[in-house]
């Protein structure tokens, strides 16, 4: 448990549920997954008051699936009391799961998402953003104002030396919380400028290091830190095809070996990797991680969402179904310039 | 503004409820009416596919009911016609996620802003049907000239008659094949009307264009040449209140037939 997650177990977050029926619905749905059986369950309850009878029925449900409740976390005193009657451990989960700093900004993420949605659905005249394909990337690069080229020249000497980078990474651990605040406090213009600077800086870094960092956005230090945070998150591993109507939500990363058919959805706080055709809705970094990625052997998603950025399949692409072929070119979606782009995963 | 709430139902599956809904909705919107379509087929939604709006759906009717978003946010605007909106069904939930009262409430709210609220009903007579019918005051019963579909339509009409809220219901005969009727291999329009003793609002001919239009996500009423598209347009006009004669479904074949038709038109024999 020191690792921040439960060994041979997982966390079920039902803190949004207000009724016992909702908890049972959610629980039975999750426990029904083949991967969830015979494992320890940690139940994250919200402020809901549960009597010992209700808790007994929940416990029985979990046990009927060959799983057992490891401990529960709750903010209600009544539930704590009933749990003590039943000899169920009560614990405070919040302290044990590493919550990346960007989690704190959930409200902002919601607001941004709403804004983005208003833009898309509220106003007919505005252009709707669709996935940017690799060719579009080149256009995006060309759009950079010429002034930035001079700035690049200024930045160059600092960015090159590897030692310097090592330093910044070490510092990052201490400073990140401040940085996150800074980013959220910045006005959009400033962010844009920062971005453009950074992107040109990156292009330079690529040339020298020869590392594949083309798709990195915002801040290298933040990215490195974020990658480590994502590694620490628990990963849900599913080996079957996700069919229409099925939905999987996780506090960590999700790996699916199989196809994700249209009509299904995957929501993860970390990364999403699909070893198959991604045809449904995927939302990575649902708690606000801008650096979350969605990878798939074939990207045919109806909608992609990363943190608060939203993109949908272009209307002119009209593929009722994807033919399964022997060769796939794996693709990856990430955020670049506040827009979701899809690019091929190159060999490195 | 007080809109008309029309439920499109059939009992039997696969007779063309959703296709009818998409096409009538589009035709009404083209005629300048403000239209919203509600898909109540939770868990098996299709209406968004037929309209080509699948990639735009973010919030669904369940999100509205469970107050995760405002009703206005959940309305997806059509690609071409700003008068047309869709309230999509949730794909990851089942029929019990929405109750009759909640649907009634949504219809009441939408009535204020729209001329027409078209409710797409799921197949069957269970909870999904009860939900869909709850908010409606008019109904269109879709059936095909097949015995099984007609039986189910009869059952549905019986259920609709027992509902006080449904003031009127009309019959829409779908997938009619004039050739088969002629050779006595298919029930004729008159037969169906006689069995069901209900008013007819439209006859839609079988059209292979429907298949392509469904796959493309483009309602067939947008295709000027299609006979089915014309028929759906006429249904929409009849709903608005215009008096439109039924289409002559018999496709003239060859020059002689065309001439024949021309002359019969001149002498006024055409029905």
Q: What is the mean pLDDT of chain B?
A: 90
> B68 to chain A, minimum CA–CA distance in Å?
11
Please indicate if any CB of chain B lies within 8 Å of the CB of A315.
Answer: yes
Instruction: Tell me how far CA of residue A77 lies from CA of A84, B169, B259, in angstroms.
Output: 11, 56, 88
Residue A28: pLDDT band (50, 70, 90) is confident
Q: CATH assignment of B4-267?
A: 3.40.50.300
Tokens of B30: 């083209």
Asked if the Cβ–Cβ distance from A320 to B54 is below 8 Å, we say no
Mean pLDDT calculated for residue range A68-93 = 78
For chain B, give the percent of residues with pLDDT over 90: 77
Least confident of A1-15, B40-54, B164-178, B211-225: A1-15
Rg (alpha carbons) of chain A, rounded to whole number:
22
The residue that leads in pLDDT, B9 or A216, is B9
CA distance, residue B82 to nearest chain A CA (Å): 8
Per-residue model confidence (pLDDT) at position B130: 94
Contacts of residue A138, Cβ cutoff 8 Å, sequence gap at least 6: none
The CB density around residue A17, as the number of other CB atoms within 10 Å, is: 17
Residue of B nearest to A242 (CA): B92
- The B75-77 sheet, strands edge to edge: B75-77, B84-87, B35-39, B116-120, B4-9, B138-143, B168-176, B200-205
pLDDT higher than threshold 60 for residue A141: no
Mean pLDDT, residues A265-281 taken together = 93
Which residue does chain B place closest to A243, by CA atoms? B92
Give which of A117, A263, A340 to mutate to test B binding, by max B Cβ within 10 Å: A263
Where does the pLDDT of residue A100 fall: very low under 50, low under 70, confident under 90, or very high at 90 and above?
very low
**Which residues of chain A lie closer than 8 angstroms to B55, CB-CB?**
302-303, 312-313, 315
Q: Cβ of B55 and A244 within 8 Å? A: no
The pLDDT score that the predictor gives to residue A98 is: 46
d(C-alpha A23, C-alpha A44), whole Å: 10
- A237 sits in which H/E element: strand A235-238
Two tokens, residue A191: 């962010």
- Of the candidates A262, A109, A18, the one whose C-alpha atom is nearest the C-alpha of residue B67 is A18
- Sorted by where each begins, the domain ranges of chain B are 4-267
What's the CA gap between A249 and A246, in Å, rounded?
10
Q: Nearest Cβ partner of A247 from B56, B76, B92?
A: B92
- List the strands of the sheet with A247-250, edge to edge: A247-250, A265-268, A281-284, A303-306, A309-312
Residue A136: its pLDDT value, please?
61
A137 touches chain B (CB under 8 A): no
Which of A67-81, A315-329, B142-156 shows the lowest mean pLDDT across its residues?
A315-329
Quick one: residue B254, left, alpha or beta (phi over 0 = left, psi -120 to 50 = alpha)?
left
Confidence of residue A158 (pLDDT cuts 50, 70, 90): very low
What is the model's pLDDT at position A175? 40
More confident residue, B181 or A20: B181
Residue in chain B lying closest to A280 (CA):
B55
Q: Give the tens place of pLDDT for each residue, B37-53.
A: 999 999 899 999 999 99
| CA atoms of A273 and A267, how far apart (whole Å) | 11
Residue A193 contacts residue A144 (beta carbons within 8 Å): no
- B45 neighbourhood in chain A, CB within 8 Å: 263
Q: Determine, for residues B77 and A312 on separate chains, whether the beta-carbon distance falls below 8 Å.
A: no
Q: Which residues of B touch A302 (CB under 8 A)?
A: 54-55
Q: Flag if B91 and A244 touch (Cβ within 8 Å).
A: yes
CATH architecture of A9-95: 2-Layer Sandwich (3.30)
Average pLDDT rounded to a whole number, residues B252-270: 60
Is the pLDDT assigned to residue A120 strictly greater than 50? yes
* Answer CATH for A232-344 from 1.20.1560.10, 3.40.1390.10, 2.160.20.70, 2.50.20.10: 2.160.20.70
The DSSP annotation for A293-338 comes to -EEEEEE--SEEEETTEEEE--TT---SSPPP-S----EEEEEETT
Sheet holding A9-14, edge to edge: A9-14, A40-45, A68-73
**Segment B100-126 mean pLDDT:** 94
| B91 has a pLDDT exceeding 50 | yes
Nearest-CA distance A315 → chain B (Å): 8
Nearest alpha-carbon partner for B149 in B10, B16, B18: B10
- Quote the percentage of chain A above a pLDDT of 70: 57
| Mean pLDDT value across residues A241-258 | 92
Helix axes A188-209, A147-160, angle to 10 degrees: 50
Write the residue in B45, B56, B75 that is nearest to A312 by C-beta. B56
Residue with tokens 């990364």: A271
Query: What is the DSSP pairing of strand A339-344 with strand A331-336?
Result: antiparallel
pLDDT, position A336: 85
3 state SS of B124: coil
> What part of A 231-290 touches B (C-beta under 8 Å)?
244-247, 262-265
Confidence at residue A323, expressed as pLDDT on a 0 to 100 scale: 64
- Residue B94's SS3 state is coil
Task: Tell me which DSSP letter residue B245 carries.
Answer: P
Chain B positions touching chain A (beta carbons under 8 Å)? 43-45, 52, 54-58, 73, 75-77, 79, 82, 91-92, 215-217
The predicted structure's pLDDT at residue A123: 47
Cα–Cα distance, A44 to A34 (Å, whole number): 21
Spans of all domains in chain A: 9-95, 137-229, 232-344
User: Which three-class secondary structure state does DSSP give residue A139?
Assistant: helix
On the question of pLDDT at A164 being above 80, the answer is no
Mean pLDDT along residues B250-260:
62
pLDDT score recorded for residue B97:
92
pTM, to two decimals: 0.61
pLDDT beyond 70 at A153:
no
Contact yes or no for B95/B42 (Cβ under 8 A): yes
Lowest average pLDDT, out of A110-119, A185-194, A223-232, B111-120, goes to A185-194
- Chain B CB contacts of A264 under 8 Å are 91-92
**Average pLDDT over every residue of B214-233:** 91
Per DSSP, the three-state class of B143 is: strand
| Residue B105 pLDDT class (50, 70, 90 cuts) | very high
Cβ <8 Å between B92 and A121: no
> What is the per-residue pLDDT for A201?
52
What count of Cα atoms within 13 Å lies in the side-chain half-sphere of residue B47? 34
Rounded mean pLDDT of chain A?
70
- The pLDDT value given to residue A292: 92
State the smallest CA–CA distance between residue A250 and chain B in angstroms: 16
Strand locations in chain B (E) = 4-9, 35-39, 75-77, 84-87, 116-120, 138-143, 168-176, 200-205
The Cα of B258 is separated from the nearest Cα of chain A by a number of Å equal to 38
Confidence at residue A49, expressed as pLDDT on a 0 to 100 scale: 80
DSSP per-residue codes, A262-299: TT-EEEESS-EEEEEEE-SEEEESTTS-TT--EEEEEE
- B55·A247 Cβ contact <8 A: no
Partnered with residue A253 across adjacent β-strands are A235
Q: Which of the pair, A5 or B182, is modelled with greater confidence?
A: B182
Complex-level ipTM: 0.74
Structure confidence at residue A109 (pLDDT)? 66
d(CA A188, CA A194): 10
Q: What is the pLDDT of residue A23?
A: 79
Q: Which of B172, B175, B216 is nearest to B50 (CA)?
A: B216
pLDDT the model gives residue B74: 95
A321 touches chain B (CB under 8 A): no
Task: Kindly indicate the confidence band of residue A8, based on its pLDDT and cuts at 50, 70 and 90.
Answer: low
Rounded distance, CA A139 to CA A132, Å? Answer: 10
Q: Which two tokens stand for residue A114?
A: 């709403």
User: What are the chain A neighbours of B76 within 8 Å (beta carbons)?
Assistant: 121
Tokens of B87: 């309230």
Is the pLDDT at A152 greater than 70? The verdict is no
Residue B18, pLDDT score: 95
Place of tokens 């990963």: A235
């Amino acid at each position: 448990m020191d690792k921040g997650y439960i060994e041979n177990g997982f966390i079920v977050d039902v803190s949004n549920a207000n009724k016992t029926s909702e908890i049972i619905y959610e629980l039975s749905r999750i426990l029904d997954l083949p991967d969830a059986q015979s494992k320890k369950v940690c139940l994250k309850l919200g402020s809901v008051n549960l009597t010992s009878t209700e808790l007994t029925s929940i416990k029985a449900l979990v046990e009927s699936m060959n799983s057992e409740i490891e401990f529960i976390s709750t903010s209600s005193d009544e539930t704590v009391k009933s749990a003590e009657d039943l000899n169920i451990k009560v614990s405070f989960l919040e302290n044990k799961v590493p919550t990346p700093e960007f989690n704190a900004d959930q409200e902002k993420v919601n607001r941004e998402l709403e804004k983005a949605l208003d833009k898309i659905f509220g106003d007919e005249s505005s252009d709707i953003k669709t996935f940017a394909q690799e060719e579009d990337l080149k256009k995006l690069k060309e759009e950079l104002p010429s002034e930035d080229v001079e700035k690049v020249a200024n930045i160059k000497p600092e960015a090159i030396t590897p030692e310097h980078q090592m330093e910044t990474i070490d510092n990052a651990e201490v400073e990140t919380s401040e940085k996150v605040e800074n980013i959220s406090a910045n006005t959009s213009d400033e962010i844009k400028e920062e971005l453009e600077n950074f992107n040109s800086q990156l292009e330079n870094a690529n040339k020298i290091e020869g590392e594949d960092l083309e798709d990195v956005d915002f801040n290298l230090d933040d990215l490195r830190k974020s990658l480590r945070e994502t590694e620490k998150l628990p990963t849900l591993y599913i080996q079957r095809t996700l069919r229409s109507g099925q939905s999987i939500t996780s506090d960590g990363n999700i790996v699916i070996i199989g196809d994700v058919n249209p009509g299904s959805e995957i929501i993860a706080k970390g990364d999403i990797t699909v070893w198959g055709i991604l045809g449904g809705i995927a939302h990575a970094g649902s708690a606000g991680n801008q650096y979350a990625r969605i990878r798939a052997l074939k990207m045919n998603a109806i909608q992609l969402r990363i943190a608060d950025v939203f993109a949908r399949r272009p209307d002119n692409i009209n593929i009722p179904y994807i033919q399964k072929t022997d060769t796939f070119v794996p693709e990856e979606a990430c955020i670049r310039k506040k827009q979701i782009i899809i690019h091929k995963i190159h060999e490195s | 503004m007080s809109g008309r709430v029309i439920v499109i139902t059939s009992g039997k599956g696969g007779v063309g409820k959703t296709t009818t809904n998409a096409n009538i909705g589009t035709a009404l919107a083209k005629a300048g009416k403000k239209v919203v379509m509600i898909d109540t087929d939770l868990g098996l939604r299709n209406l968004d596919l037929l309209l080509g709006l699948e990639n735009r759906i973010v919030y669904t009717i369940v999100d509205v009911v469970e107050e995760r978003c405002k009703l206005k946010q959940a309305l997806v605007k059509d690609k071409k016609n700003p008068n047309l909106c869709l309230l999509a069904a949730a794909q990851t939930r089942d029929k019990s996620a929405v109750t009759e009262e909640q649907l009634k409430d949504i219809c009441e709210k939408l009535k204020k802003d729209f001329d027409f609220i078209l409710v797409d009903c799921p197949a069957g007579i269970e909870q999904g049907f009860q939900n869909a019918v709850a908010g409606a005051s008019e109904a269109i019963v879709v059936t095909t000239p097949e015995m099984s579909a007609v039986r189910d339509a009869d059952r549905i009409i019986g259920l609709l008659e027992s509902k006080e809220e449904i003031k009127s219901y009309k019959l829409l005969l779908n997938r009619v094949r004039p050739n088969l009727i002629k050779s006595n291999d298919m029930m004729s329009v008159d037969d169906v009307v006689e069995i069901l003793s209900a008013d007819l609002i439209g006859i839609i001919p079988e059209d292979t264009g429907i298949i392509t239009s469904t796959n493309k996500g483009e309602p067939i009423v947008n295709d000027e040449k299609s006979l089915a598209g014309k028929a759906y347009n006429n249904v929409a006009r009849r709903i608005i209140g215009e008096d439109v004669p039924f289409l002559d479904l018999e496709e003239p074949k060859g020059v002689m037939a065309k001439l024949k038709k021309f002359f019969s038109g001149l002498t006024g024999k055409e029905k």
